[in-house]
Amino acid sequence: MKTFACGDVIPGCSARFTAADEDGIFSQVAGHAAADHGVTTVTPELVAAVRAHIH
Ligand SMILES: [Zn+2]
Q: How far is the CA of 39 from the centre of ligand 1 (A)?
A: 10
Instruction: Compute the average pLDDT of residues 38-49.
Output: 92
For residue range 22-35, list pLDDT tens digits in order. Answer: 999 999 999 999 99
Res 35: pLDDT: 96
DSSP alpha helix (H) spans, 1-55: 22-37, 44-52
Instruction: Compute the average pLDDT of residues 32-41.
Output: 94
Mean residue pLDDT across the chain:
95
The contacts of residue 32 (CB under 8 Å, 6+ apart) are: 6, 15, 17
b/e burial code for range 20-55 (CB count within 10 A of at least 16 → b): eeeeebbebbbebbeeeeeeeeeeeebeeebeeebe
Query: Which residues are found with C-beta within 5 Å of the ion, ligand 1?
Result: 6, 10, 13, 15
Would you call 53 helix, strand, or coil by DSSP?
coil
Res 42: pLDDT: 86
